[in-house]
Structure 1
Amino acid sequence: MSVSAELRDRRTALEEEWARWVPGSGGPHGGRPPVRPEVAESWARSLGTVDPLRDSAPVRDGGSVHPRWSGSVLRSPVDALADELHAVADAGFVAAVTDESGTILWTAGGRVMRRRAELVNFAPGGRWDEQAMGTNALSLALRTGRPSTVFSAEHLVAALHGWVCYCAPIHGPDGTVLGVLDLSSTWDRSHPLAMPTVRTLASAIEARLQAGNAERRPGAKETDAVRLTCLGTAGAARGGRPLRLRPRQLEILTLLALHPRGLSPERLRAALYGDRPVTASTFKAEVSHLRRALGGRIASRTYALTAPVACDALDVLRALEAGDTDGAVRRYGGALLPRSDAPGIAARRAHLEVAMRVAVLASDRPEHALRLGELAAPDGP
């Protein structure tokens, strides 16, 4: 079955399930719904306050959000990444940034997609929190503090059934959610690379926020902090700008981040390639490219990072070590570099998965197990 046929079948099934929930029947009747638990729970919360047949998002403050955007801490990092955000949007998406309330402050996209988005008020001033627009990716990301995808009829409002949306929350240096970065397109453009893209861009915004926070501290020097995302997806940013790294270079960066004392050339090579015959020049070329991308932050004799790298896997491990299961579950985005077959990555992936399962099994909060189960399920669009 072609991808488009699979998407069409999925959309049809969701439309049928949506119809069972919405028409004044008070909810579904019989059988387990073919929707994710977080979507079903959001439907149940939203049906009492949101009309599924409304045609667009309500407007906040008369629709003028220019003063809010001008004074937002998100404006500077978003402006710095404008080229990357516009490039992604021009590929058939609408990009949007909201504040912590779910009000859109900024958008980018081609003329056709922006015009479609404006029809449902997916535009500056539009309110997209759950109380205003029911189930959507922005509201879920704001509510959970985690990346979220909502496809077609998973949206509560019927006017959004032609869309697919990918969102990642934007966290401030203190961990609070400052807003959401969203990439939206028509349902037939659903693509597995959209979520890794939005997560990498959100991480780049967070890195710039972190750098700006460091520069504002008394005595702080200018920084171009590096942030690595390796749970569920893979990407890195330096000084808020995404780095163009090949998969092997991301594996090297991940291994060095997880081994702060460094690795000998022999150990790093074995962790990457195992018993496979790879020339020394190939191995050294990968390390050299990564060193240049990081501004020289890899020591030569023992390969080690010579400056801190913010890493989501390290954040999870630190939370687990501190007994903070809720924090670990909130930060855990999925398996460590799930597409990597490097022996060293596979070993650390298994270690982290076991540690997460042990912590969740010991937890008395069922939502921890539900979240881990969602991440272990097959990926959606």
Structure 2
Amino acid sequence: MSEVTTIPVGEDYDVLVGHGVSARVAEVLPQGVARVLVVHGEPLASLAAPVITALRAAGLEVHVAAVPDAEAAKTVTVAAGLWATMGQAGFTRSDAVVAVGGGSVTDLGGWAAAAWLRGVPVVHVPTTVLGMVDAAVGGKTGVNTAEGKNLVGAFHTPAAVLCDLGHLATLPPADLSAGLAEVVKGGFIADPRILEIVEADQSAVQDPGSAALREVIERKIAVKAKVVAADLRESHLREILNYGHTLGHAIEHHESYRMRHGEAVAIGMVYAAEVAHRTGRIDAALLERHRYVLGLLGLPTTYSRAGFDELLAALRRDKKTRGATLRLVVLDGLAEPGRLEGPDESLLREAYAALA
């Protein structure tokens, strides 16, 4: 096993980053666990197998549930199937769930754990860049509904997060690049060094085995860990992590979740930058830097497959909205996130038109 980086999330749990860390899954479970439900995406049986082997070697009773790939996993129906498995196996409050997969699987597995007996331990083993730097860290869990993304869920802090860098070698290049949108987000809202690393050598950042990719992953995890440790339940500070997500989630919903999350967030960040520029919060250079950095990674920075009216209803259902007041996370400068409350609809339309 290579060197392991430990990133604490306050005093609640640690994120371990390194090659081979998924083999430590039994070590990070709370004492007293007897049964474990391993939830994994259907295409990821080979990545889940070493986790299952490690748990059984530790003497644990292991049950396995393969769930649909990507956003198709995040439904109440799939979650109910996990609860049925736990119920039939006699899971108690001291037993646990281990989620192996991308952000959709950790969202689903975390919510299944949060709801079973009002909360059992969960360990996340994210297998994608997106899962490592965002979905698995922070305790947000949930599923989608016909009305929108992540509208049903709970805050449920994991016992640990194991980011096994060896899993990234299995990722299709487009999925790796899409996950880097969340990494870039961390650069714009908190750690500009991330942007500098991408600008210096975008090819290295997209190499699954590179030191550059490991560094930006660890930097983004550190950004999120600091924020969520200070504001687990998104009462104020944590909202900055939604930079690019207001329009991004609306686009995902419009596309019936066929667009990668990171691609939608990339477009959403450019949109937020357009809004901020039009309100005088950021200059043209910072707006253009959004397009430049995201473009280096092959991520989309334009969008024209929906009219603004088609997206407006989803925008108003965004979780940052309060009553009838739409709230957007914007920048007041590089690494200076802020909020824009109740923007004029004409401004939002102008910014959206610029995306085309």
TM over 0.5: no
1 or 2 for the larger relative contact order (CA 8 Å, sep ≥6)? 2
- TM-score scaled by structure 2? 0.31
Name the one with the larger strand percent. 2
Task: Give the alignment's TM-score, normalised by structure 1.
Answer: 0.30
Larger radius of gyration: 1
